[in-house]
Amino acid sequence: MSHSPIDPTLHTAALAGLEMAINGALRWDPGSRQKLQQLAGHVFHFQCQSPHLSLYLLPTREQLRLCAVFEGSADTTLTGSASDFAMLARASDPANALINGELQLQGDSGALITLQSIVKQLDLDWEAPLANLFGDVIGHSLGRGIRRGLSFGRRAMTGATSALSEFLQQESELLASPAQLALFYSEVSQLSMRADRLEARIDKLARSKKQQ
């Protein structure tokens, strides 16, 4: 009978942790809190299609509420994949990202742009909510685990990108390196200039031959 493929306990735990982390960050950020007050009472509905997740975000005067279920209609509904949402969250120009991105928007986009600017500048501390949920010792260990995991993920992503680029350029020679490309572009540009000069010289020769 459950309406979500995920057990509501897990869904709720994830939302409770995220909500606590966001509100923890907001507590020390009066500027964002002030912006948030403009959105009080607004209902955002985010529908992620891959993976299949749905969450409601309800700003109040002081904090954000995250819910798996909301009885009522949303003012802004955004539908898309996880990568589309991540792209919007990081975008320096959210309006452009919404227009040119893959996300489907229904309702008020102005409120969404304000929300994006608040979320983008939040620095989440995962340790505090985890410590509140599971106690200091487990919370600290989990927080350290998450920090290490995120740091490892970033390093692994950078390393994998670099290794893939090296493999494609040096080992398999499927792609040219940036230096080779720059040299190629420079040579093409020189060839183009030389061709222009040759064309001009041929034109000049042709004109002088006509005059004779």
Partner 1 sequence: MSEPSESNSTHFGYKTVDSNAKEELVAGVFHSVAAKYDLMNDLMSAGVHRLWKRFTLELSGVREGHTVLDLAGGTGDLAAKFSGLVGTEGTVVLADINDSMLRVGRDKLTDLGLVHNIRYTQANAEHLPFPDHCFDCITIAFGLRNVTDKDAALRSMQRVLKPGGRLLVLEFSKPSSKLLARLYDAYSFSLLPAMGKLIANDSDSYQYLAESIRKHPDQDTLKDMMVEAGFARCEYYNMTGGIVAVHRGIKP
Interface contacts to partner 1, rule CB under 8 A = 1-3, 7-9, 12-13, 16, 67-72, 133-134
CA distance 115 to 45: 12
Nearest approach, Cβ of residue 99 and partner 1 (Å): 33
Name all contacts of 48-56 with Cβ < 8 Å and 24+ positions apart.
48/80, 48/81, 48/82, 48/85, 49/79, 49/80, 49/81, 50/81, 50/82, 51/82, 52/4, 52/5, 53/6, 53/11, 54/4, 55/15
Nearer residue to partner 1 within complex by CB, 55 or 97: 55
Nearest approach, Cβ of residue 16 and partner 1 (Å): 6
Please, are residues 4 and 68 in contact by the beta-carbon 8 Å criterion?
yes
CA distance 127 to 119: 18
Nearer residue to partner 1 within complex by CB, 125 or 134: 134
Nearer residue to partner 1 within complex by CB, 7 or 173: 7
Nearest approach, Cβ of residue 53 and partner 1 (Å): 15
CA distance 121 to 27: 13
Nearer residue to partner 1 within complex by CB, 11 or 78: 11
Nearest approach, Cβ of residue 147 and partner 1 (Å): 22
CA distance 187 to 193: 10
Nearer residue to partner 1 within complex by CB, 52 or 201: 52
Nearest approach, Cβ of residue 146 and partner 1 (Å): 18
